[in-house]
């Protein structure tokens, strides 16, 4: 679908080269921070009950490890345990 219309020609729905490069590029630390700040403060991203308010408040402390975990996820498709 494109703009609500069903498209049968697969060439019309393919990404252009700029979009492909953008999708394949590594996530930046700034993109990670923007994502954390874009979530509600009382939301918890996982089962550990740490809210986004916690991550924002202690960002200077958790940012390095949090960023490594997110970067790992984007590279490998899962979280290392």
Residues 19-67: tens digit of each pLDDT: 888 888 899 999 999 999 998 888 776 777 888 899 999 999 999 999 9
Instruction: Tell me the CA end-to-end span of the chain in Å, nearest whole number.
Output: 38
**Gap between the Cα atoms of 13 and 56, Å rounded:** 38
Which band of pLDDT confidence, cut at 50, 70 and 90, is reported for residue 1? low
Measured CA to CA, the distance from residue 2 to residue 62 in angstroms comes to 40
Query: How sure is the predictor about 7, in pLDDT bands with cuts at 50, 70 and 90?
Result: confident
Q: Which of 4, 5, 64, 12 is nearest to 33 (CA)?
A: 64
| Residue-level pLDDT at 35 | 92
């Amino acid at each position: 679908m494109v703009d609500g219309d069903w498209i049968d020609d697969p060439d019309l729905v393919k990404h252009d080269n700029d979009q492909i490069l953008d999708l394949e590029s590594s996530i930046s630390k700034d993109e990670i921070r923007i994502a954390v700040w874009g979530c509600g403060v009382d939301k918890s991203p996982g089962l550990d009950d740490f809210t986004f308010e916690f991550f924002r408040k202690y960002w200077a402390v958790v940012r390095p490890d949090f960023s490594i975990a997110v970067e790992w996820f984007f590279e490998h498709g899962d979280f290392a345990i």
